[in-house]
Amino acid sequence: MTERDDSAFYGNLDGTLEEAWRMLDSGASDRRAAFHTPALASLSLDGAPSARTVVLRRVSRAERWLQAHTDRRSEKAREVLVDPHVSLHFYDPSAKVQLRIAGLASLHTEDAVADDAWAQSRSFSRECYRIEPGPGTPLADPREAVIPQVENPEAGREHFAVLRVRAQTLEWLYLAARGHRRARFDWRYERMDARWLTP
């Protein structure tokens, strides 16, 4: 296997941030990309961390947000309404890159963000939001959960939500034989702070 050309970002903080957003962009658009399915961690109602896989749907580098879709009846939707602090974890084994993004989540159900995402979703994806009873409901028998077959393409819209994470920090880790590189970008203060960290 040929080594990937990392000259644009190895040892270069600006190039590293550029590469991180490039990978996130392609994670949103390429279903085969490892970054397409990050883990989203939130705080459960008893204070313990809770992580699960989500599909990365959209990214805005300019506004530093990342979006996933979810059912507003889900546990994660409830959790981020109580405490919006979340973290997204990405790992691409072929690129040998891990990203950890910490930020604040917002849940969009009735606004233009949700309308826009719903309008772009396919009928197959919309089906999941029609399931009854709601996600996470204990069942005596798994067949109790059903997706009603209906003609109305808007069915399920009332359960659909966009979970948007505004990044506060982004941590990069690149595993390389000639020396690992770890960097942290922090937008919590007036000016972005970018620095290397010991890997």
54 touches ligand FMN (CB under 6 A): yes
Which CB atom, from 123 or from 198, has the smaller least distance to ligand FMN?
123
Size of the residue set binding ligand FMN (CB under 6 A): 15
Tokens representing 6? Answer: 């990392």
Query: Whose CA is closest to 118, among 152, 146, 158?
Result: 158
148 touches ligand FMN (CB under 6 A): no
Q: Which residues contact 64 (CB under 8 A, 6 or more apart)?
A: 103, 166, 167, 187
Q: Which helix (H) or strand (E) holds 116?
A: helix 112-120
Q: Which residues contact 41 (CB under 8 A, 6 or more apart)?
A: 49, 50, 51, 86, 87, 88, 89
125 touches ligand FMN (CB under 6 A): no
Which CB atom, from 50 or from 169, has the smaller least distance to ligand FMN?
50
Q: Which of 50, 60, 121, 169 binds ligand FMN (CB under 6 A)?
A: 50
CB 113 within 8 A of CB 164: yes
87 touches ligand FMN (CB under 6 A): no
Q: Which of 16, 67, 70, 106 binds ligand FMN (CB under 6 A)?
A: 70
Q: Which residues bind ligand FMN (CB under 6 A)?
A: 37, 50, 52-55, 68-71, 74-76, 135-136
